[in-house]
Structure 1
């Protein structure tokens, strides 16, 4: 047997009054037929004050609101209505027990047809859910804001008018503005005059899935700082929507260094192309036959001379073209050439092991001389080596002719020195004969001094005649021979003892002759003014740093204390002073009661290129 239910109005109203939601019932004229306890507490309007009254008379602020329109639509059409708090902020004036505004949603349902038109309005408190959502959103936004604020790139958000709404710390540092200075200002303040329009770029990037759509291609533009200076930027843009509003976010990356590096790279690439073209033009202009080989010996490039070489050019590898293996071409089959053995061996080692450059000369069957040069190219794109064949036939002919001329000149110079030496010896002999016929001893001394000076010069030419080169003589050997001759001419060991210590030093002829005459004068004077016993003379010739020092010491009676060689009336001393000036030498004199020391100090002469003789075979080569 079915249970007996109480009368519907009694229990239905009790249920509606017990619900944790606001329930009110309106007739077709919007008069309130039911107002439950939840609505009484939330609105602070007791039921007795509102029942039977029109809802929008009791709550005049709701008249002509979205709620009013929704109620009329439901009563007229019978269609339910839903009003969310997010889109309809002006709903019932409800409060929480603590006095805060209640966030609520409203659902309007028509009652079942069959009677007079009525509608049921259900009010749901969503304050807690909204607060939770707000806290979660704030936490999420805080995390995102922390990430964005610590980003290295400037990030700026504007509205659809281009007014700045937000900017991160990197943007403030990059443009030297405080965020509060730019909020509400146009973003054009931060862009250069020739930069693309912010809004035009944003239009091309409308909102996509999830309300966010990044720009497909970044744009390079110029930014403008507070002080007016510019900065190169790369802009990535996105347009997005939130709560019915559109925003534009731009990420501005400083690419000043990147652009500078790019410009330097472009300039470097241009310079490299120009250098490559200049190098190729230079190689093409050279008369040498030049090829570039890879590590296997295959030709990867040749210059114009090699490419256009005709049959009259017979250098090793003539006829090879790009793509041929140079080593195989010169070492196999009908192209094999025994002259290539030395060159090929060195070239193989160079390609395999990176050995030092190869240099060799060879002569062809047509008596053409070639010089082959090969150098490694480890840094090139192919590795390998650069190979060069230079026709040196004309150079060889010129060298042979030059060697012949040098040989003739050497013979002529040797003959001249020999004849000068013979002539000086003839003059010396004549003076000797004349000396023997002179009755006056004083006059004979002067003749003997003149003969001694002539013989000193003759010895220089004799040394040049005996040497293989004619610009310099080894002065140490010359000095020893000079002292030996002077010792014999002075009467031997009973009259003088000359000790010589000298380094091996080559002197040019224009230094050797004056210095030899100075040594002759000083040694002759030491022997001549020796006193009672035999003369004890010490001669040294040393190199000291950048100077040469000739020292001549004796144990004679010495010179006066106030002796000045520049004021001396002696022909020998005047000759020493004059010759020293010719070779920029300084004369030092140290005299005591036990002897005198002369020091001749002169700078080391500059090196003179040697003129060497050549053999007959070399001349004919």
Structure 2
């Protein structure tokens, strides 16, 4: 293999390894990062040299020549490293001035032949040839020489002015940078210009320089900044402002933090007295003072310390003022003050009491709200020992509280009674937490809460629960509590009455599915009620439920917890009594129906006897009237016998049959009878007198109202519990001076008596026919025996 190719690949490895090693030693160092970039560029260019030396054709050699276009970047990177090493932090404008020409030259190198003409075959292999008589080539050489010279001069000056380890550092860096620069100038410029063709040793020399610097890093921990450079970095980067004056208090320097704080440039401070920008009550060195720093638009409160600047011989050269902005501190103090005010206000008005014990259980702090709970002022209790405070507790609580609170631990909780100044005791709750310093308990913070009303309510609830349990256990009705599991119901509890009813103990079926535990209940209508109450949540009453061999009155209620309570009252005995009563009632109804039937038959017998007497009577009219009255009463008993209701008469049906009977008995087809009766029923005490009245008035119309044909109307209406009977005809009417009470007619006198019997009012009108209007109410039941 070409010896130059071996040298190039060796330079590639040395540069890459050395650069990575330097970076790993201190990746935070700007110098190390710049040196890593330098070594990476050298490694890359060594790799392009290797490709050039092993090329087998012109085209391949030309490709590798073009790939070496990054060589102009190496020169500004060297200067960049030197600036960082010597403590000069390059600004962005300076970096732009250094790197911009390198980028332009690299672009020309890649895209044109103005810098490098192309590859040339030599005795040691392919190499590159410079563009002759090219202005860009000449400019690039001049530019590279100037940048490299500046870098070497800066390192040399730093080496010359340094002592000890600083000089050793500069020596290694100077050696590592001079080698590639001298090699490049010699092999790429001087010797070719003298007519001597030699291979370029710039990249191998640069790789060697990187290894020298790496050795310096390994042995002397390069780069170690000088104390002056470190101090300048600290001054530039510190957050506190710094002002340096001479002994006459004239300002010579302000750091960037001063510029940022005041909003003024450093030039505005130069030559001014420090007393113009800092206000002191009294200037004193070696102490910390509060002052005001003049800003652009305001005076800024600051805290300042002043000290002397000494020379190498210890002499006073000037004064150094350093400080910081007090506004954040003042704002924090104001926030803390407002927070403390809010805390005081909160503790004064809060319902709970707060306090703090020291390590000996003495009250170190008590909030004013303690008085609301204990009745004692917090100032009176502060400093009192917890043991002395035991005298204010209820005697029954003292020993327990003493053991609990005075036992050191992670925390305590207790409830006890405090005797207030009026002698009454109130329940309070006490909770504390330890205060630790370096792991040791230095005291306790505690809270005190009045739970008197809660305690009384709790005790009342316990009594109420006990009463409920007692009621639950002793109720005669069975109570079964079930809970829904989404699919069915599970038994949760049963009272003793339910256990007796079902013949099973609650412990045996608790938690079981209702269908499995109590199948008789599950197979009864109670199951449908359970499903309905689960959907609606409304209480359900099942008055008669047959379950097994018994009957039950069942109420179902859903509790707020979601459980459903089934309350079962055994009504089996009541059901038997009701059945027996219904049977007895049916027997009595049958007997009563038979009585009405026999009464009707007796009236029929009387009517038949009257009918036999009619043939022998000289005047049959009175007997016929009597027979008609008997038939009207018989009709009532006949309807009662036929009716389901033995206490009242369907008046529509009754009046229809009564008037029809009257029409048939008079055999007068020219007189029509119209009946208009609503759905009205009347008791026996009212129906019989009303039937007799209708019989008398309709019969009277048949006898006296008409000379030929005519119309009779019977109407019965109800209005709010009051009834109106209207009987009209379109016959000859009544005399003008007609008074029913003075009538000689037996029938009309009977009507008047019947009206009084039912407490009615009768109105009679004789114009355009005859109209009788009877207003009455229901006659109350009167004992018949």
What TM-score do the two structures reach when normalised by structure 2? 0.43
Deviation string, structure 1 residues 264-299 (Cα, Å, up to 9, x no partner): 9869957973774475156x333xx44333333432
For residues 193-212 of structure 1, the aligned pairs below 5 Å read 195-199=375-379
Is the Cα–Cα contact under 8 Å of residues 672 and 712 in structure 2 kept in the other structure? yes
Match of residue 496, structure 2, among 295, 298, 304: 304
The within-5 A match list for 1:312-323 is 321-323=509-511
Residues 156 and 383 from structure 1, CA distance in 2 versus in 1: closer, same or farther, beyond 3 angstroms? closer
Equivalence for 1:508: 683
* 1:215-238 C-alpha deviation (Å, 9 max, x unpaired): x99x9xxxxxxxxxxxxxx9x9xx
Report if the CA contact (8 A) 1:374-1:385 is conserved: no
Q: 1:548 aligns with which of 697, 703, 723?
A: 723
Structure 2 residue 558 is the aligned partner of structure 1 residue 388: no
Counterparts in 2 of 1:417 and 1:203: CA distance versus 1, 3 Å: same
Question: Cα–Cα, structure 1 residues 570 and 395, in superposed 2: closer, same or farther, change >3 Å?
Answer: same
Query: What is the root-mean-square deviation in Å for CA atoms of aligned residues?
Result: 6.1
How far is 1:464 from its partner?
1.4
From the superposition, tell whether residues 300 and 343 of structure 1 become closer, same or farther in structure 2 (CA, over 3 Å): closer
Aligned partner of residue 523 in structure 2, secondary structure: helix
1:457 paired residue among 627, 633, 640: 633
Select the residue among 574, 577, 582 that pairs with 1:403: 582
Out of 645, 648, 661, the position equivalent to 1:472 is 648
1:523 — aligned with what?
698
1:90-489 aligned within 5 A: 133=326, 157=344, 195-199=375-379, 273=465, 276-277=468-469, 280-281=472-473, 284-286=475-477, 289-295=478-484, 296-308=488-500, 321-329=509-517, 340=520, 344=523, 346-351=525-530, 354=534, 360-361=545-546, 369-372=549-552, 377-379=557-559, 381=561, 383-384=563-564, 386=566, 388=568, 390=570, 392=572, 394-434=573-613, 436-439=615-618, 441=619, 444-489=620-665
* 1:493 equivalent in alignment to 2:669: yes
Change in Cα spacing, 1:535 to 1:195, as seen in structure 2 (3 Å) is same
Residues 515-555 of structure 1: CA deviation (Å, up to 9, x unaligned) = 11221122122112213123421112334454433221101
Question: Offset at 1:17?
Answer: 5.4
Instruction: Give the C-alpha shift of residue 409 in structure 1.
Output: 1.2
**CA 1:38–1:85: 2 relative to 1, 3 Å:** closer
- Between the aligned partners of 2:378 and 2:286, the Cα distance in structure 1 is 39
User: C-alpha deviations, 1:366-393, integer Å up to 9, x for none?
Assistant: xxx402566654445353562637361x
Deviations 1:151-174 (A, max 9, x none): xxxx585xxxxxxxxx69x98xxx
Q: What is the 5 A alignment of 1:594-613? A: 594-603=768-777
CA spacing shift, 1:290–1:530, aligned 2, 3 Å = same
CA contact (8 A) 1:589 1:598 kept: yes
Q: What is the alpha-carbon distance in structure 1 between the residues aligned to residue 728 and residue 701 of structure 2?
A: 8
SS class of match (2:551): strand
Q: Following TM superposition, by how much is the alpha carbon of 1:586 offset from its aligned partner in structure 2, in angstroms?
A: 3.7
Measure how far apart 1:475 and its partner are. 1.4
CA deviation vs aligned residue, 1:314-361 (integer Å, no higher than 9, x gap): x79999643444422466xxxxxxxx5x95164555555648776542
How far residue 138 of structure 1 moved from its aligned partner, in angstroms, is 6.3
Question: CA offsets per residue over residues 464-498 of structure 1, 9 Å max, x none?
Answer: 1222331112111111111011112223314x322
Q: 2:755–2:762: 8 Å Cα contact kept in structure 1?
A: yes
Deviation at 1:577, TM superposition (A): 3.9
Worse-superposed segment, 417-426 or 193-202: 193-202
Distance 2:514 2:674 in 1: 69
| Distance in 2 of aligned mates of 1:194 and 1:450 | 102
Q: By how many angstroms is 1:433 displaced?
A: 4.6
Query: Could you give the per-residue CA deviations for residues 415-465 of structure 1, whole angstroms, max 9, x where no partner exists?
Result: 2212222333333444445555443x4xx5444333322221121112112
Residue 137 of structure 2 aligns with which residue?
Answer: none
Cα distance in 1 between the residues matched to 2:736 and 2:566: 75
Measure the CA separation in 1 of the matches of 2:597 and 2:714. Answer: 28
Residue aligning to 1:575: 750
CA distance in 1, matches of 2:499, 2:307: 94
Q: Write the distance in 1 (CA, Å) between the matches of 2:510 and 2:303.
A: 87
The answer as to whether partners of 2:724 and 2:776 remain within 8 angstroms in 1 is: yes
SS in 2 for 1:493: coil
**CA pair 385-274 structure 1, distance change in 2 beyond 3 A:** closer
Q: Which has the higher helix share?
A: 2
Question: Structure 1: which 5+ runs fail to align?
Answer: 1-13, 21-36, 43-66, 68-80, 87-95, 97-101, 109-119, 150-154, 158-166, 172-186, 206-215, 220-233, 237-254, 332-339, 364-368, 608-621
Q: 1:581, CA displacement in angstroms? A: 4.0
> Contact between 1:291 and 1:301, CA under 8 Å: does it hold in 2?
yes
Based on CA coordinates, which of the two structures has the bigger radius of gyration?
2
Q: Is the 8 A contact 1:104 1:124 kept in 2?
A: no
Inter-partner Cα distance in structure 1 for 2:553 and 2:571: 12
Question: Structure 1: how far apart are the matches of 2:698 and 2:340?
Answer: 100
The CA distance in 2 between the partners of 1:322 and 1:193, in whole Å, is: 46
Q: Distance in 2 between matches of 1:559 and 1:498?
A: 19
1:59-103 Cα distance to aligned partner (Å, 9 max, x none): xxxxxxxx9xxxxxxxxxxxxx977779xxxxxxxxx9xxxxx99
Contact 1:552 1:599 in 2 (8 A): yes
Separation in 2 of the partners of 1:436 and 1:264?
A: 100
> For the Cα contact (< 8 Å) 1:307–1:321, is it kept in 2?
no
Q: Give the Cα–Cα distance (whole angstroms) in 1 for the partners of residues 707 and 655 of structure 2.
A: 26
Alignment gaps of 5+ in structure 2: 1-244, 252-272, 279-283, 295-301, 309-315, 350-366, 386-411, 416-428, 432-448
Paired residue for 1:34?
Answer: none
Retained in 2: the 8 A contact 1:566–1:574? yes
Q: TM-score, normalised by structure 1?
A: 0.52
Change (3 A) 1:486 1:271: farther
The 1:455–1:105 alpha-carbon spacing in structure 2 relative to 1, beyond 3 Å, is same
Mapped contact 1:294–1:384 kept (Cα < 8 A): yes
Distance, in Å, in 2 between the alignment partners of 1:581 and 1:123 is 136
